[in-house]
Amino acid sequence: MKSPPQSRPRFADDESTPDFGPNNATKNAFGEGHGVDLTRFTIAQLLQLRNDATLALPAADLASIDLNRELVLQMLSIQQLQADVLQDDGTPANQKAQVANSLLSTLKQLADLQNSIFTSERMKRVENVLVDFIKGLPEDQRRAFIDAYEAALRA
């Protein structure tokens, strides 16, 4: 007996995928208790699925947002947009330049974020070495250093 063909979500430019109307959404999307095979999607399709899912989810608080991840996903979206725009001969040059500038800006933000994280991690290591060293000092010297350090942090 032949197994039924695997289905995948339908995109506007892809007529080979099934309709996910309200009556068929769960059955077509997940089959009989199986998840969606995401390996069959292009990056553009996966980004679109992610965007659609994000819009469908309830708003989260700011603390639950992973800014690193969001920035990387933004960069991937812009890279995909750039690839699409560069292939389209009908797109004006100024719009192609705007997409390129957006990508450069996002890459700069990623570089700045990486630098900030590196600096922060390095400072943590320096503080750990300093704390270990201070533990070996006499109590009066420890207290004097901690008081001066806390005063400097407040300034």
Predicted model pTM: 0.47
- Using CA atoms, how far apart are residues 30 and 36, in angstroms rounded to an integer? 6
Report which DSSP code applies to 34: -
Distance CA 40, CA 20 (A): 17
Residue written as token pair 């059955």: 27
Banded pLDDT at 2 (limits 50, 70, 90): very low
Span 15-55, pLDDT tens digits: 444 444 444 444 545 555 557 788 888 998 998 898 888 87
Sorted by sequence, the CB contacts under 8 Å of residue 96 that are 6+ apart come out as 85, 86
Query: What residues does each domain of the chain span?
Result: 1-42, 58-154
